[in-house]
Amino acid sequence: MKIGFIGLGIMGSRMAANLQKAGHELVVHNRTKAKADDLVTGGAVWAGTPAAVAGQVELLFTVLAHPEAVQAAALGEQGFLDSLPERALWVDCSTVNPSFSRRMAGEAAKRGLRFVDAPVAGTKQPAEKGELLFLAGGDEADVDACRPYFDVMGRAVVHLGRQGMGTSMKMVVNLMLAEAMIAFSEALALGESLGIPRELLLESIPGSAVAAPFLSGKKVKIEQNDFEADFPLQWIYKDLQLVATTAYEQGVPLVVGNAAKEVYALAKRDGLGEADFSAVYRLLSGQSK
Amino acid sequence: MKIGFIGLGIMGSRMAANLQKAGHELVVHNRTKAKADDLVTGGAVWAGTPAAVAGQVELLFTVLAHPEAVQAAALGEQGFLDSLPERALWVDCSTVNPSFSRRMAGEAAKRGLRFVDAPVAGTKQPAEKGELLFLAGGDEADVDACRPYFDVMGRAVVHLGRQGMGTSMKMVVNLMLAEAMIAFSEALALGESLGIPRELLLESIPGSAVAAPFLSGKKVKIEQNDFEADFPLQWIYKDLQLVATTAYEQGVPLVVGNAAKEVYALAKRDGLGEADFSAVYRLLSGQSK
Amino acid sequence: MKIGFIGLGIMGSRMAANLQKAGHELVVHNRTKAKADDLVTGGAVWAGTPAAVAGQVELLFTVLAHPEAVQAAALGEQGFLDSLPERALWVDCSTVNPSFSRRMAGEAAKRGLRFVDAPVAGTKQPAEKGELLFLAGGDEADVDACRPYFDVMGRAVVHLGRQGMGTSMKMVVNLMLAEAMIAFSEALALGESLGIPRELLLESIPGSAVAAPFLSGKKVKIEQNDFEADFPLQWIYKDLQLVATTAYEQGVPLVVGNAAKEVYALAKRDGLGEADFSAVYRLLSGQSK
Amino acid sequence: MKIGFIGLGIMGSRMAANLQKAGHELVVHNRTKAKADDLVTGGAVWAGTPAAVAGQVELLFTVLAHPEAVQAAALGEQGFLDSLPERALWVDCSTVNPSFSRRMAGEAAKRGLRFVDAPVAGTKQPAEKGELLFLAGGDEADVDACRPYFDVMGRAVVHLGRQGMGTSMKMVVNLMLAEAMIAFSEALALGESLGIPRELLLESIPGSAVAAPFLSGKKVKIEQNDFEADFPLQWIYKDLQLVATTAYEQGVPLVVGNAAKEVYALAKRDGLGEADFSAVYRLLSGQSK
C-alpha cells in the first residue's frame, strides 16, 4: 500500500524520509518540486498536484506550514479531499488551530473519509532521528491505524481524544515554548546589562529549576551567535497567532501570551523571521539592528 | 562569637533555626516579636531594636521583605548601621534591587563596615532543610567568611562578583520564575477550555521539555486546589516591581516581564496576594472570584 | 426599486428604519425574525432567507456582527450571493477585517456582482439620528451609487479607495477607540486610588487635550454606574481580534493594541460582554466582581 | 522679595523667564551654569549651589527632571532644605511620583517649611507663552500665595487637595498622554500597512472623536518627519516608570500602561530618547533603524 505525503519542508522532508527508509512506498507532492528530489531518487513517486496524490493512496499525511496551506491543498483547485477514495485516512500533522482541525474533520466526514489531527512536538533534529512526539486527536481505531507509521517517525504518540484534541494540545505546548524562550531572552538581556557575564548566565540558568529543559539546546545558538533555524521565528509567531485566535474563540484571556506574540512580531519585522526563534534574544538584547 | 539575625519571616525564621541547630549563638530581632519565640526558647538573645542587635555582634544577617524594610532596619530610627562595630560584616539575604544593594554597600563602606549581598534561590522547604542556594556579591574574602554559615543554611553558594551582583542574579532568576508560572497557568487555562482534562495537562506538561522543573512542585497545589503559600503571590509581584525598576535603570525593555507583573497585580487585587504565587492560575482560569 | 437589508441588530435596525422613513421599500431578513417586526409593520417585506432577499433586489445592504455571520449569509446554505441578479450591488456595512472584505469582493466579482465595503463610524444614537460616517471602499461609480442611501443613514461618506479600504480605515478607527477607552479607565482607576474624587476626574479629563472627545459621552455612564450598551464590550473585543488578525497579516507589531484586547477579554470573562464597552472601567477599578 | 528658581531646562528656563519678564527678581541655580546666562543677563542673581539660593529667598520654585534630581537638590550636599528660612515656601513643579511628593512635604514640615507640589500640564510652547496649567496640592493658603506667580507662568491653576494631589493628577494626565500617543502611532502604522495614504490618515484621525486633541499638534512632526523634542521621549518613559511605581504602591493593575512603558523603552533603546515622544511612531512603523 502506497502512502501519500504532502508538504516537504524542514519537518515533512525528514518525516517522509524516515517512512521511506522503513520501506514504505510514497507518493509525494510539494509546492516546490526540488524538495522532493531526494525522495524521488529514493523511489518515491512524484505527483504534480494534491489531487494526483489522492488518486493513488488510502493513507495521506500532510505536513504544511499553516491553516491556509492546508486549506489550499485540501479544498483548493486540484485539492486532495475530493479525490481520496472512500474510507481513506487523512492524517494532518500540520500545526493548525483546533477549530480549523475540526472543520477539516467535518469536510472529511462529509466525503466519507476518516481524519486524524496529529501535530508533532519536536523540531529538526528529532524529525531527522525519528524521535518526534505525536499529539493525536481522532477515533481510537484511526489513531491505532497510524501507529506503525508514527513509530517510524517518532518515539511516542499520545492519543488526546476526539478530532481537534491533538492540535489543542499543540497550542498548549507551543504557547509554553514561545513564552519560555522570551523569558530566557529577557532574563539574559537583563543579566548582561547588570554586568553578569553572558557565559555565566548561559552556564547557570539552563538546567536550573526555573528554565524549561529545551533551553539547554538554545544556549549553544546564543553562545555562538549562530541562529540557523531549527524552528524559524516566523513559525512560532504564526503559532502564537493561532493560539490567540483559539483563545479568542474560547474566551480565555492571555495577557502574557499576546505580549509574547508581539515581541516575535517586532523580531520578525527587524528581519529575524527566518532565523531560529531563539533569535528573539537578539531583539531583546538590542542586537537586531 | 554571636551572630545577629534580623527578619524572621517564612525564610528568615527557618534560616536562623538552622544556624542555631548548628550551634551558633544568635542575637535576633523581628518586627513582630512572637516570631522569635522558638529561637529564644532555643537560646537566642532577643534584642528590642536593630541597633540593639548591632551592638552585640560582628556578623549580621538580614532577611527582610523588601528594600523599604531593609532601609528602615539599617538606617531608620534605631537602625543597625550606626551601631555595628568597625569592620563588622553585614550580609543582606533579602531580595532587593541591585542599585539598592549597591547603595547599602556604600552606606556600609562609609562607616568602615563590610557588605555582602546574598539573596537566596529556594522557598520554604529548602529553607527548612538547609538546601538554599546563595547568590553572593562582594569581596572574595568577605564571601569566604560567610561560607561556613551559608553551608549550614544552604547547599551551595555562587560568588557572582562585586557587591550588587548577587541581587542582580536574583532579579534574573525571579523574572524567569514569575514568567514560567504564568506561562504554565495560561497554558492550563487554554487547554482546559479546549476540553483537555486538567489531570492530563498536569501529568504531561510538567516534566516535559517546555516546562521549568519547579512547576512539578506546583502541580500538586493546582491539583488539590490548595494554594497555601510557599512563596506568596504578593512577593513575586514585589520582585517583578524590583525587576521593572532595574530594567528601567538599565534601559532594558521587558515587554513580557511587565505584562507578567500586571497579571500578578490583577491576581493580588482579586484577593490572591497571600496565596502561593501559583494561585495566579486561579485568576487565569477564571476562578478568582 | 426595492432595497435588501440583512442584519437588524442595534445598528442595522436603526439604519434600515431611516431608509424606510425616507420612502425606500425594503426587503429584510434577520436571524431573529422579531427584530424585523417594526419594519414589516412599516411596510417592509420579510424574507425567510438571505437568498430570498436576493431574489427581489438589485441593491443589498448587510450589517452583521462579524465575518463569520457575513460568510454564512453570503455563502452558506440559502446564502444571497448566488441569488443576486447580475450587476447587483452588495454593500457590506459590517465591521470585518480587510482581507475578508477583499475575499468577499472576489466572490462577488466571480458572480458578476459589484461590491462596496462601507463600515460605519458611530454607535446607537448616531445610527438612530442618521448621523453615521460611512468609510467606503470600492469603485467610484459604485460608491456614488450608494450616496443617496448613505445620505439618509449618515452625515458623511469618505471614499478611501479600492475594495477593502473602508474596512481598513475601520480597523484604524476602532483600534484608537478601544485603546482610548482603556487609557481613560486606567487613568480613572489610578486617580481614584490616589484619592482624587471621581467627580473631579470625570469633570476635568474629558474635554482636555489628552482625552479623545468621545469620552465625554462615556463619562455619564461611569458617573451613573449605568452601562447599558451603546456599543457592547464583546464587539470591541471582537474588533480588536480582527485588528490583531489584520496586524498579523500585515506584519505590524501592536504591543499596546494586543494588551488592550486582553483587557477586554478579562472584562468579558468577568461578565461584562453585553455591557457597554466603557464597562471596562469596572474591571480596571476592581468593581467587576 | 526675591524668588529662588532651581532647574533651568526646557521647561524651567521658560518659566523663570516669564517671572523675570513680569518684574520679579530671581536667584537662580542650575546644574549646567550656561543655561542661566540669559536670565543673569536679564538681572537674575546666580547662586553656585541649591543652598546658596535658599539663603536668599522665602519662596523657591524647583523644576527638575526626576525625583532623584529633586532629592539631590533638596537633601544632597549643599541641598536647599536646611538653608531655607523658617516658614519659607517650596513649590516643586517637577514631575515626580505622589509618594515622593509626600515625602518631600514631610521633610519640609520637619524643618518648619511650607510645601506645595505643582507640576504643570503643557510643554515647550505653553511654557514659553505663559500658558501652562498648574496642578497644585497643598494647604489652601499656600496655594493662594503661589497664584500671582502661577498667573505669570500659566493660564490656570487647579487646586486638587492636600500635598501630593498635584503630582497625583499629573500621573493621571501623563498616563493618558503616553497611551494616546501610542494608540495614534499604532493606528497610523496599521493604516499605512494597509495602503491608506499617510496624508489621509493624518488629515482624518486627529480632530476626530477617537483622537486626543493634542495629537493635532503631533501630526506636523510626523508629516515632516522632524521630531525635535517638545517633550523628549525619555521623559515620558520616565513618567511612565513613575506611574508604574505609583500603581504598584496603590495596588492598581495597569496592563496597557505598562505595555506602553515598554514600547517607549524599545524606542529609547533604538536611539529615540532625545527625540520628541511622538517619535515612538518611528519605532512602531518600523523606521527606527
A253 touches chain D (CB under 8 A): no
List Cβ<8 Å contacts ≥24 apart for D130-134.
D130/D18, D130/D154, D130/D155, D131/D155, D132/D15, D133/D157, D133/D158, D134/D93, D134/D158, D134/D166
Q: What is the dihedral of CA B210, B215, B219, B222, to 10 degrees?
A: -100
**How much is the pLDDT for D289?**
58
pTM of the model: 0.96
Contact yes or no for D289 and A269 at CB 8 A: no
C165 touches chain D (CB under 8 A): yes
Residue identified by cell 523540531 is A123
> Which three cell numbers, joined as nine digits, stand for B92?
543582606
**Contact present, A64 and A94 (Cβ < 8 Å):** yes
Test A212 with B214 for CB contact under 8 angstroms. Answer: no
Q: CA triplet D226, D228, D234: central angle to 5 degrees?
A: 120
Q: How far apart are CA B126 and CA B133, in angstroms?
A: 9
What whole-number distance in Å separates Cα of residue B97 and Cα of residue C121?
48
Identify which has the larger pLDDT, C37 or B289: C37
| Rounded-to-integer distance, Cα D161 and Cα D85, Å | 25
For the cut 80, the answer to whether the pLDDT of residue D147 exceeds it is: yes
Q: Which of A255, A259, A269 sits opposite D286 (nearest CB)?
A: A269
Q: How many CB atoms lie within 10 A of CB B25?
A: 14
| Residue-level pLDDT at B289 | 58
Contacts of C251 (CB under 8 A, 6+ apart): A265, A268, A269, D193
ipTM of the complex: 0.95
Angle ∠(D115,D119,D122) on CA atoms, nearest 5: 155
pLDDT of residue D131: 96
Q: Is C280 on the interface with D (CB under 8 A)?
A: no
C141 Cβ partners below 8 Å, 6+ apart? none
Q: A114-117 and A120-121: which strand pairing? A: unpaired
CA–CA separation, B125 vs B276, rounded Å? Answer: 13
Q: In this complex, is the C-beta atom of B265 within 8 Å of any C-beta atom belonging to chain A?
A: no
**How far apart, in Å, are the Cα atoms of C92 and each of C79, C88, C139?**
14, 13, 14
Question: Which residue in this structure is represented by grid cell 511628593?
Answer: D101
- Which residue is closest to B246 within chain D, CA to CA? D241
Q: Tell me the sheet residues that pair with D170.
A: none
Do residue D248 and residue B255 have CB atoms under 8 angstroms apart? Answer: no
Largest CA distance in chain B: 65
Following CA atoms A241, A243, A247, A253 in sequence, which dihedral angle do they give, to the nearest 10 degrees? -80
Task: Identify the CA nearest to C175 among candidates C124, C98, C101, C241.
Answer: C241
In chain C, the residue whose alpha carbon lies closest to the alpha carbon of D211 is C212
Question: Which of C140, C130, C132, C131 shows the shortest CA–CA distance to C165?
Answer: C140
| pLDDT over 90 at B123, yes or no | no
pLDDT for A145 beyond 70: yes
Residue D121: pLDDT band (50, 70, 90) is very high
Task: State chain D's mean pLDDT as an integer.
Answer: 97
Query: A121 has which bridge partners?
Result: A133
Which candidate from C176, C209, C256 shows the least CB-CB separation from D213? C209
* CA–CA dist C19, C177 (Å, integer): 27
d(CA A279, CA A225): 9
Report the C-alpha gap between C179 and C212 in whole angstroms: 10
* pLDDT 10s digits, D237-270: 999 999 999 999 999 999 999 999 999 999 999 9
Question: In the structure, what pLDDT confidence band is assigned to residue D287 with cuts at 50, 70 and 90?
Answer: confident
Which other chains touch chain B, taking contact as 3+ CB pairs less than 8 Å apart? A, C, D
Residues contacting residue A44 through CB under 8 Å, at least 6 positions apart: A5, A16, A20, A25, A26, A27, A28, A36
pLDDT of B17 reads 98
As a whole-number percent, the residues of chain B with pLDDT over 70 amount to 100
Per-residue confidence (pLDDT) for residue A289, from 0 to 100: 58
Q: Locate cell 491556509: which residue?
A: A68
Q: Mark yes or no for CB contact D161/C201 under 8 Å.
A: no
Contact between A270 and D255 using a beta-carbon 8 Å cutoff: no
Measured between beta carbons, which residues in chain B are less than 8 angstroms from residue A183?
Answer: 175-176, 179-180, 183, 256-257
Nearest to D251 by CA among B250, C192, B141: C192
Average pLDDT over residues B272-284: 97
Instruction: Measure Cα distances from C98 to C133, C137, C173 in Å.
Output: 18, 10, 13
Dist CA B137 CA B126 (whole Å): 21
Residues of A in contact with C261 (CB under 8 A): 258
H/E run at residue D45 = strand D45-46
The answer, yes or no, to whether residue D161 has pLDDT greater than 70, is: yes
**Res A1: pLDDT:** 84
Nearest CA-CA distance, residue A255 and chain C, Å: 5
Sign of the dihedral through C-alpha C94, C96, C100, C101:
positive
Whether residues A241 and C241 touch (CB distance < 8 A) is answered with no
Nearest to A172 by CA among A182, A163, A164: A164
Mean pLDDT score across all residues of chain B: 97
User: Does B2 score more than 90 pLDDT?
Assistant: yes
pLDDT of residue A222 exceeding 90 = yes
Q: How far is C191 from chain B (nearest CA, A)?
A: 16
Structure confidence by residue, pLDDT tens digits, B248-264: 999 999 999 999 999 99
C-alpha neighbours within 13 Å on the C-beta side of residue C46: 14
Contacts with D241 from chain B: Cβ below 8 Å: 244-245, 248
**Are C222 and C281 in contact, with CB atoms under 8 Å apart?**
yes
Torsion of CA A272, A275, A276, A277, to 10 degrees: 20
CB-CB neighbours of C31 under 10 Å: 14
CB D266 to CB A270 under 8 A? no
CB atoms closer than 10 angstroms to residue D75: 15
Q: Is D135 helix (H, G, I), strand (E, B) or coil?
A: strand
The answer to whether the beta carbons of residues C233 and C223 sit under 8 Å apart is: no
Residue A123: pLDDT band (50, 70, 90) is: confident
Q: Which partners does chain C have (≥3 C-beta pairs < 8 Å)? A: A, B, D
Residues of chain C with C-beta less than 8 angstroms from the C-beta of B259: 259
Phi then psi for residue D262, to 5 deg, are: -70, -30
Q: What is the pLDDT of residue C123?
A: 87
Beta-strand relationship, C120-121 and C132-137: antiparallel
Residue C248 to chain A, least CA–CA distance (Å): 7
Answer yes or no: is pLDDT of A78 > 80.
yes
Which chain B residues contact residue A186 at CB under 8 A?
A: 175, 179, 252, 254, 256-257
Copy the grid coordinates of residue B91.
550580609
Percent with pLDDT over 90 in chain A: 98
Q: Locate C129 and state its grid cell.
A: 439620528
Query: C49-83: per-residue pLDDT in tens?
Result: 999 999 999 999 999 999 999 999 999 999 999 99
Nearest to D259 among A259, A270, A286 (CB): A259
Cα–Cα distance list, C111 to C83, C85, C90, C115 (Å):
10, 9, 12, 11
Per-residue pLDDT of chain C (289 residues; tens, 9 = 90+): 899 999 999 999 999 999 999 999 999 999 999 999 999 999 999 999 999 999 999 999 999 999 999 999 999 999 999 999 999 999 999 999 999 999 999 999 999 999 999 999 998 999 999 999 999 999 999 999 999 999 999 999 999 999 999 999 999 999 999 999 999 999 999 999 999 999 999 999 999 999 999 999 999 999 999 999 999 999 999 999 999 999 999 999 999 999 999 999 999 999 999 999 999 999 999 987 5
Written as one string, the DSSP assignment of A4-50 is: EEE--SHHHHHHHHHHHHTT--EEEE-SSGGGGHHHHHTTPEE-SSH
Looking up cell 474566551 gives A251
Instruction: Return the residue of B nearest to C254 by Cα.
Output: B255
> How close are the terminal C-alpha atoms of chain A, in Å?
52
- Report the C-alpha gap between D225 and D233 in whole angstroms: 15
**Residue C251 burial by Cβ neighbours in a 10 Å radius (0-12, 13-18, 19+):** middle
In DSSP terms, B217 is beta-bridged to none
- Residue D276 grid coordinates: 520628541
How sure is the predictor about D1, in pLDDT bands with cuts at 50, 70 and 90? confident
Question: Cβ neighbours of residue D184 under 8 Å, at least 6 residues apart?
Answer: C176, D205, D206, D211, D212, D215, D218, D281
> How many CB atoms sit inside 10 A of residue B117's CB?
31
3-class SS letters over chain C: CCEEEECCCHHHHHHHHHHHHCCCCEEEECCCHHHHHHHHHCCCEECCCHHHHHCCCCEEEECCCCHHHHHHHHHCCCCCCCCCCCCCEEEECCCCCHHHHHHHHHHHHHCCCEEEECCEECCHHHHHHCCEEEEEECCHHHHHHHHHHHHHHEEEEEEEECCCHHHHHHHHHHHHHHHHHHHHHHHHHHHHHCCCCHHHHHHHCCCCCCCCCCHHHHHHHHHHCCCCCCCEHHHHHHHHHHHHHHHHHHCCCCHHHHHHHHHHHHHHHHHHCCCEHHHHHHHHCCCCC
Contact A190 B160 (CB under 8 A): no
Q: Identify the chains in contact with A, defined as 3+ C-beta pairs within 8 A.
A: B, C, D
